[in-house]
Structure 1
Amino acid sequence: MQYVGRVPSPPLDQFIDDIYCLTGVPRHRRMNVPPMPSAHLFVNLGEPVRLWDSDPSVPPAMLIDAWFMGVWTRRFLFEYPARVRLVGVHFKPWGMSPFVGMPAIELRDRWVPVDGVWQRSLDRFRDQVGDIASATETLRVLEEELRSRFAEAPSRGLGLVRHTGGRLETSHGAVPVGALADAAGVSGNHLATQFKSHVGVTPKRVARIYRFARLILSVDALHPVDWSDLAQTAGYFDQAHFSREFKDFTGHTPTEYLALRRRFPAEQGFPPDSGPMPAD
């Protein structure tokens, strides 16, 4: 399977990590996805994709067209079709806010059809890219579509969230939330309220997800792994807390996860394999 992605040009790059095309035959059909510091837009141009929430009370979904996914605080599982043709956007945690015109908390831990968020559907985009073979041209059309929906006048509080969220991003969640609020000259409650509106979760939760992402992306399954050292580097100073959070976020103990990664090595240069793991 081929992943072709790039960072969009300013000002979209302040809100989007990358836009991408995913095509071909998947190496693994079923993938287990831990919480990661991003929200998503997917446009499916191929066969349906199946989704399961790790919360058993949530019914599974069959995603056929296009859908948004807000920031997730728990893992979920998806199943690729036999052949994939998918166009997507990895938003920064706060990045969906200027595109959707609704509180991000309404998209937290949810997959929502695009038609339920945007008044105009993506039919025009799908028509434009339907017969395009070039990933470069497809990404150009996708970026134009995003620009047409981008609200240049920031909504209240987004600047605050983008600035403080950027500090969490660069520090991998290591800056105390109290220090962020003090530096911004606001109360912790105000900062939390703005994060819930533009990210869907509190800054403390965002910090946890960035911290976990730093740890999981630093695992080199080809060599011995010192979990205590990795955990401490990522900011986990309580080993029991680290073990609980790791099992909660991945569904595996660190030892089980490492065995899985060694059994199914990530494809080099293939970003979707950096966090998600095979569920087979």
Structure 2
Amino acid sequence: MEYVGRVPAPPLDRFIDDIYCLTGVPRHRRMNVPPMPSAHLFVNLGGPVRLWDSDPSVPPAVFTDGWFMGVWTRRFLFEYPTPVWLVGVHFKPWGMSPFVDMPATELRDRWVPVDAVWQRSVDRIRNQVGAAAAPAESLRVVEEELRSRLAEAPSRGLALVQHTGGRLETSYGAVQVGALADAAGVSGNHLATQFTSHVGVTPKRVARIYRFARLILSVDALRPVDWSDLAQTAGYFDRAHFSREFKDFTGHTPTEFLALRRRFPAERGFPPDAGPMPAD
């Protein structure tokens, strides 16, 4: 597959890591996706996409057009169509808030059709993306759509979440949440309330996801892996807690994960391979 992406121009870059176009034939149809520090918008112009929650009580979903996903706190399974033609947006954990008029908690650990969030818009967006002559033009279409939907005035508390969330991002969750609250001059409860409102989860949960992302992205399967060293560098000082969280987030023990990564090495410079693992 080919991945073409770019960071959008200001002010969208405060809320979005990148907008991208993914096309071609996937190396692996099913991908096991761990919690990562982002929310998503997908516009699908290919065949049906299938999604499974790791929670067996949640029914699977099939999307033919487009969907939003908030921050996920557990893994899910994603099945590509063949061929793939997706245009997507990687929002920062708090980044979806100024573009949608619904509580972030309603998008946490969920996939929601685009038309349930942006009323009667997905067909128009898909037609515009489908008419684009090149991936770069597809990205421009989606960027302009986002720019038109960016709230003129930020909602209450978003600036606080953006500032403190940015510190969690740059530190990979290493900054104590209490220190963030003290530095911002607010109580821990107030900070947690604002994160829940704009992200859907507490700052402690966001810190956990950033910490895990740092760990998983630092694994070099081509070399010997010292899990104790990687875990400590990422901020895990309790080996039992690290092992338990790793299994919860990936469905594998560290040893199993490493064997799978060596069997299916990540393609360098290909972001969809950074974190997700083949499930087939």
TM-score, length of structure 1 as denominator length: 0.99
Per-residue deviation, 1:127: 1.6
Per-residue deviation, 1:68: 0.3
State the Cα deviation string for residues 169-214 of structure 1 (Å, max 9, x = none). 0000000000001111111111001000000000000000000000
Inter-partner Cα distance in structure 2 for 1:127 and 1:87: 12
State the Cα deviation string for residues 134-164 of structure 1 (Å, max 9, x = none). 0011111111111011112100000000000
State the Cα deviation string for residues 52-81 of structure 1 (Å, max 9, x = none). 000000000001111100000000001111
Inter-partner Cα distance in structure 2 for 1:119 and 1:185: 38
Partner residue in 1 for 2:104: 104
Partner residue in 2 for 1:85: 85
Per-residue deviation, 1:123: 2.2
Partner residue in 1 for 2:256: 256
Of the structure 1 ranges 209-218 and 136-145, higher mean CA displacement relative to structure 2 is found in 136-145
Inter-partner Cα distance in structure 1 for 2:152 and 2:25: 38
Of the structure 1 ranges 54-63 and 128-137, higher mean CA displacement relative to structure 2 is found in 128-137
SS in 1 for 2:32: strand
The answer to whether 1:240 aligns with 2:225 is no
Partner residue in 2 for 1:7: 7
State the Cα deviation string for residues 7-61 of structure 1 (Å, max 9, x = none). 0000000000000000000010000000000000000011000000000000000
Contact 2:44–2:126 (8 Å) recurs in 1: no
TM-score, length of structure 2 as denominator length: 0.99
Inter-partner Cα distance in structure 1 for 2:225 and 2:115: 45
**Unmatched tracts of structure 2, length 5 or more:** none
One-letter amino acid matched to 2:216: I
Contact 2:173–2:211 (8 Å) recurs in 1: yes
SS in 1 for 2:196: helix
One-letter amino acid matched to 2:246: F
Partner residue in 1 for 2:32: 32
Identity percentage of aligned residues = 88
**Unmatched tracts of structure 1, length 5 or more:** none
Contact 2:65–2:126 (8 Å) recurs in 1: no
Inter-partner Cα distance in structure 2 for 1:123 and 1:78: 23
Per-residue deviation, 1:102: 1.4
Inter-partner Cα distance in structure 1 for 2:91 and 2:76: 18
Partner residue in 2 for 1:140: 140
Partner residue in 2 for 1:71: 71
SS in 2 for 1:130: helix
Aligned-CA RMSD value: 0.7
Inter-partner Cα distance in structure 1 for 2:129 and 2:155: 31
Of the structure 1 ranges 145-154 and 120-129, higher mean CA displacement relative to structure 2 is found in 120-129
SS in 1 for 2:154: coil
Partner residue in 1 for 2:113: 113
Of the structure 1 ranges 28-37 and 136-145, higher mean CA displacement relative to structure 2 is found in 136-145
Partner residue in 1 for 2:179: 179
Inter-partner Cα distance in structure 1 for 2:123 and 2:79: 24
One-letter amino acid matched to 2:87: V
